[in-house]
Amino acid sequence: MARLDQLDILSRKLLAGKMKGERRSKRRGQSVEFADYRNYTIGDDLRFIDWNIYARLDKLFLKLFMEEEDISLYILVDVSASCDFGDPNKAMYIKKVAAALGYIGLVNYNRVAIAAMADGIVAETGGMRGRKRVSQMIDFVSKLKPAGSSHFAESCKRFALANRHKGVCVVLSDFFVKEGFENGLRYVAGGKYDLFCVQILSPQEIDPDLTGDLKLRDIEDDDMAEVSITQPLMKQYKSNLNAYCLSLKDYITRRGGTYLFTSTTVPFDTLVLNYLRERGLLG
pLDDT at 21: 44
pLDDT at 14: 47
Strands annotated E in the chain:
23-39, 61-69, 72-78, 111-117, 121-124, 167-173, 193-201, 212-217, 224-229, 258-263
pLDDT at 10: 84
pLDDT at 248: 97
pLDDT at 25: 47
- Whether the link from the prior residue into 208 is cis, omega within 30° of 0, is no
- Say how far apart CA 49 and CA 47 lie, in whole Å: 6
User: Which residue ranges in the chain fall short of pLDDT 50?
Assistant: 14-31
pLDDT tens digits, 126-146? 999 999 999 999 999 999 999
Query: Global pTM?
Result: 0.82
149-160 burial code (b ≥16 CB/10 A, e <16): bbbbbbbbbbbb
- Say how far apart CA 131 and CA 105 lie, in whole Å: 9
pLDDT at 274: 94
pLDDT at 83: 96
- Say how far apart CA 170 and CA 257 lie, in whole Å: 10
pLDDT at 266: 97
Q: Where does residue 28 rank: exposed (0-12), middle (13-18), buried (19+ CB within 10 A)?
A: middle
Residue 134: Cβ within 10 Å count: 18
pLDDT at 199: 98
- Say how far apart CA 7 and CA 277 lie, in whole Å: 9
Residue 215: Cβ within 10 Å count: 8
pLDDT tens digits, 195-238? 999 999 999 999 999 988 999 999 888 899 999 999 999 999 99
